[in-house]
Amino acid sequence: MTKTNVFKFGGASVKDADALKNLAKILRNRLRKNIVIVVSAMGKTTNLLETILNLKLEKNDFSLKYANLKSYHFGICQELFPENHRIFSVLENQFISLEKKLEVELSKENYDEVYDGIVSFGELISSKIVMEFLCLEGLVVLWQDAREIISTNYDYRFAKINWEKTRKNCQLHLKPKLEKFPVVTQGFIGADQFGKTTTLGREGSDFTAAIIGSCLNASSVTIWKDVPGVLNADPKRFSETVLFPELDYKQAAEMTYYGASVIHPKTIKPLANAGIPLYVKSFLSPDSIGTKIHAIETFNPISTFVIKENQVLVSFKVTDFTFIEEIHIHKVYEELRRLKLRVNMLQISAISISLVMDSQPFNFEKLLERLRSEFEIRYNEGLELLTIMHPEKESIVSQLEGFDIFLEQSTRNTVQIVRRRKA
């Protein structure tokens, strides 16, 4: 049997009827039986589902947002399918199940678990539409529920993979199907040992593709994006960018760690361990070379700019005229761990610990609540963290202009700047 290839299509590549037609075009030239097609929710569906959940949590009316969600998906299908196609009853069924889930009593306590059960509908619906549309186009593909494959713990919203089970599931459920036809499945979602739906963290579909690639010992994994490949900066934020035709796993992993959103940070490791190349290619220009990430053991020295938005800088100051000691750091980190808050930058001075992290609605409040009695706490919101890898002097200076700078750190190879654009 030929080796498997895994293709991952993100939200932007399935965001409307034209995008789906383009996806079918890409696959028409490349579709062989041994291909797994991993899809995300369509367009901004995950954000919309999150908005609905948050409205519900605050006991606000979400019916308008829900109606938008429904008409968005039905609208796409009306453009793509004949009136009497079965996709419409499939959709109706999906939305009935979603409405049932939305009836549940939602609180801060069960938020994560309910979140996974509801947000996963984005991927379930999208994968059904993609599967039916490909079949309609004469590209016969099978559908696979990712929850039968991706086995996780019950760390809702940030579920960890049970690799052994997942590997077995791939052999059991995917392999036999792939011997006959290509298979469409969902990114981002999995199930715990009780069969409850879990999710792998926002933008986790890339990771799903890597997991499946690794478990099937695929010959490659390809992520189809709206950019030409991996660039040295986000083209939406920087006017001049350079494409990396190839990158070593390590350099790519480091970029994702600092926040390069082109690939999910967890994607590289399983592929690097198995020596499976990862291609990042443009769905707008599918024949262009894109980027190949594999073991080349050399670093490309071009200055690389990575921005993490929506950052909070918080400082914990000791109040009793002592200095910062290990115990203070331990206390802060213990709470961060409990609340699943990840630190992107850390600075310790004589009397305070400063942390930069992603803004996370109520877990941040909880952190402040729990540590208020120990420290004097101050924070700034709405910041961005810029990391420059292999920086050049001029490039650093130019990144300071027009910004208020809150924190700066540098090593030989990396400069990090926490900043906010001046009003």
Using CB under 5 A, list all residues that contact Mg ion.
11, 40
Rounded distance between C-alpha atoms, residue 258 and residue 372, angstroms: 29
Q: Is 213 exposed, middle or buried (0-12, 13-18, 19+ CB in 10 A)?
A: buried
Nearer Cβ to ligand ASP, position 125 or 174?
Answer: 125
Q: Is 307 exposed, middle or buried (0-12, 13-18, 19+ CB in 10 A)?
A: buried
- Contact (CB, 8 A) for 170 and 212: yes
Q: Check residue 41 for interaction with ligand ASP (CB under 6 A).
A: yes
CB of 46 vs Mg ion, minimal distance in Å: 5
Looking only at residues 10 through 29 of this chain, which bind ligand ASP when binding is defined by CB under 6 A?
Answer: 10-11
Please give the structure tokens belonging to residue 345.
């930058």
CB neighbours of residue 2 within 10 Å? 10
Mark the segment that binds ligand ASP (CB under 6 A) among 39-47, 156-164, 168-176, 404-412: 39-47
Q: Check residue 205 for interaction with ligand ASP (CB under 6 A).
A: yes
Q: Check residue 290 for interaction with ligand ASP (CB under 6 A).
A: no
Please give the structure tokens belonging to residue 9.
């299509």
Find the length of the chain.
423
Task: Tell me which residue has tokens 């206390």.
Answer: 331
Nearer Cβ to ligand ASP, position 26 or 146?
Answer: 146
Q: Check residue 204 for interaction with ligand ASP (CB under 6 A).
A: yes
Nearer Cβ to ligand ASP, position 132 or 203?
Answer: 203
Nearer Cβ to Mg ion, position 278 or 388?
Answer: 278
Q: Shortest Cβ contact with ligand ASP: which residue?
A: 205
Rounded distance between C-alpha atoms, residue 35 and residue 31, angstroms: 7
Nearer Cβ to Mg ion, position 39 or 216?
Answer: 39
Cross-strand pairs, 352: 317
- Contact (CB, 8 A) for 65 and 51: yes
Q: CB under 5 to 8 A by kind: which of Mg ion, ligand ASP, none does 182 bind?
A: none
Rounded distance between C-alpha atoms, residue 111 and residue 114, angstroms: 5
Mark the segment that binds ligand ASP (CB under 6 A) among 94-102, 130-138, 202-210, 397-405: 202-210
Least Cα distance to 201 among 277, 274, 261, 148 occurs for: 261
Nearer Cβ to Mg ion, position 206 or 248?
Answer: 206
Q: CB under 5 to 8 A by kind: which of Mg ion, ligand ASP, none does 115 bind?
A: none
How far does Cα 21 stand from its chain's mean position?
Answer: 24
Select from 46, 232, 251, 267 the one that contacts ligand ASP (CB under 6 A): 46
String marking each residue 156-195 x if it binds ligand ASP according to CB under 6 A: -------------------------------xx-------
Which residues of this chain interact with ligand ASP, rule CB under 6 A? 10-11, 40-41, 46, 122, 187-188, 202-205
